Structure 1
């Protein structure tokens, strides 16, 4: 008489789901070529969802239980995250991660988790970009604006050079800090190639004033910058953290009386808005910013229109 097969333990039943999650993350890196930060965030989003399911269902989730989920289960998860104080933008990203994982299961022949496509995401209020005034953006890129701070001159020069790149070339902070020393746009080099979202590269022009700021930083930097190493380094010579630049901007907000919306990323917004306000071509600005969709760049036309209407309301006698 044949002995009945032993039933799998809960941990063994959950193993295929763990393997599927690992293959999905590998797919995001190798096929989608998402940035390491995005892959890490997506992995964290999935782990949080699986932890919720474990408590919600009273057992470790499996491939079978994932496929069997209904819209009500997903709404329960979103409601639980809401109670934890998670905002709509974060919930939308988390839902996007879970939908990506569900599509991976379907592509891999592991099951069709249809509920993820059927559930509606939370409504997100679309805020327009908040650029700085031209005079404020210029002041941010001037090392003398922080002369009163107890910082070494080379650090002030470094931060000013980073800010100059963000405003002068419309870079994201990660793109600026990813530039290697050998690619520094100095000594007559008037462009730089950066790696943006989706690991896509683009080449952007660099103004002479920006090149001069970078050259000034390099001249004062106390560390020997290796050609294959980062152009911008921290106080101890290691790669510069974006948080340091964010803190530098916070200091400038107080010194220059700037609003809370004055962040390093606001310099990128300022780059696009000021170009558009002076007749810049929308398609060209899209390429400079590295936007995949023109609709994203078109948000800056709304900013410009909003500023025109504000000026009209403030100045026109019949407004």
Structure 2
């Protein structure tokens, strides 16, 4: 979080001094109120090679530009609105979402009240996205030795190499009530035999919603034991792939570059043994029960400190408003286990 008069962005001489009601920048040299700015710097580059030109690109950078952001080269520092995009305040920081509700970046940080006030007043925030924004301290440097000039040089390098995208996006000061959290549960959850994945429903919105893939409202018998899987269909044109660190959903009939629907990556803070056990159960059954909804599904060690009645009510709300389908795993995924694990 910073402002448009940050030395890294050009300092007080920067020409953009406000954002109009339509998201278009205002370059009134007499205005002195700086524009609120948010910077998201991914920790890794997702490199892809264009087989026609042999050039290497960052897939996420090209993706965010294709969805409405603008490449920010050297010599030009002006931003235009990205239709439908939003920057959301969360309980722990900031969240960047595209026009379909997809999450592109999330930052955990303490929010400055003055920055929040200015963003709320203007209704827009200038967002920069790229792997070379001068935020992370590089290897061999410390907070003390990574100087302001080093950060400026890093930011300029990213722009020179086409690795900086920016846009003005709508500011949402009230945290969204829609869940953003995946939940993976072992076989036996809710009295049914399959490993279960609860997927935030916004992942399916760009594809027409979960009904596009044959999902149906979760049967009312969810509260009974066991759940009748006969009431839940196998998804249409949707399969899963469970790797040692990820669980992805994709459309098998589309080209690899276009078939991704949603994915979960086991965070570093999560016990790898927990995800490995879930992955092996998915391989053993060859399929996964997927539920998708808008509400948080209670799970995790923090439930120890919550009243049982609250857990039951929140679980009921999540399941009663969710959709369900059984997702088969790809043959390649099932055969990816070592021989002694493939059962």
- The answer, yes or no, to whether TM exceeds 0.5 is no
Q: Which has the larger radius of gyration?
A: 1
Greater relative CO, 1 or 2 (CA 8 Å, sep 6+): 1
Instruction: Answer 1 or 2: which has greater strand percent.
Output: 2
Instruction: Answer 1 or 2: which has greater helix percent.
Output: 1
